[in-house]
Amino acid sequence: MAIVSLREAINQAIDEEMARDERVFLMGEEVANYQGAYKVSQGLLQKWGPRRIVDTPIAETGFAGVGVGAAMVGLRPIIEFMTWNFSLVAYDQIVNNAAKMLSMSGGNFHVPIVFRGPGGAAHGLGATHSQALESVYAHFPGLKVVMPSNCKDAKGLLKTSIRDDNPIVFIESEVMYGDKGEIPDGEYTIPLGVGEVKKEGKDLTIVSWSKTLAHTVLKAVDVLQQELNVSIEVIDPRTIKPMDYDLIVDSVKKTNRLVIVEEGWPFAGVGAQISHEVTSRAFDYLDAPVERVTQEDVPLPYAHNLETLSLPNLDKIRTAVKKVLYID
């Protein structure tokens, strides 16, 4: 297995899919001549040329709309947002056109398009550049939402997303682009809607995804297992919609306790939906109410100390874990 960075894994996925299918192209701000704002598209312009690696003006509504139209007539665009915060400018194109076109056209127009780029908080970028928007996009029928937490998943899930005939919201994390990990040799894909048990355990289940899983939860679990002498199972759904509820429910039936940790805000968050599904399907197995750890219900502060206090962290996860285990 090769060891690559997450940005390299995404680059490989795009490159391989462009080689496999001439209808695939990449479009967005600074993806071509600048090699990508985060260097994800490095080398692709030189290999594939300006017809398939397309720089755009700072006009998200415009190039998202061009992408939707291109997908409707048979191409397979990858639309890069420099950050998912900027996708809000193109919100109408994503949720009113891409998401609804298949249904409203009576099945005549598929929209095989991938909207991708970094989302969530980074480091001190302020409230308007730090938003976790997965629950917003997962709310709309017609969109699939994908959030990888490691290099292997980033490549495998992106390749599957590019091949999918539906519009995909593919949310990465800019602070993970430098993370390194093993990826399988040769061709591989990962199906959407299939989660993964990242760590086996028997006393409680933690569900989390993307950067929060990779950078916060797994580290917290290592600390808390030693500190509290408990065995914690960790599940990564990998795709927010469709969600692998069966995997989560089966884990809860084994551990009888559930903590959900997400970067998004508490009201109508992804964790609220997971909690509903678990309590509906496995209520009699729960030995404690489901606990959620989220970002505080405020615009994310710019100051580092306040940003740290607002986001999920070890102390918040410890409190939730102790609560479901009835540890004072």
Residues carrying an active site annotation:
60, 129
Kind plus residue range of the DSSP H or E element containing 37? none
Nearest one of 183, 178, 208, 237 to 312, comparing CA atoms: 208
118 touches 149 (CB < 8 A): no
Which two three-digit tokens encode residue 269? 């968050």
Cα separation, 223 vs 204, in Å, equals: 15
262 touches 294 (CB < 8 A): yes
Secondary structure (DSSP) of 94-136: IIIIITTHHHHTTTS-----EEEEE-S--SS--GGG----HHH
Nearest one of 62, 65, 21, 26 to 44, comparing CA atoms: 26
Cα separation, 12 vs 89, in Å, equals: 28
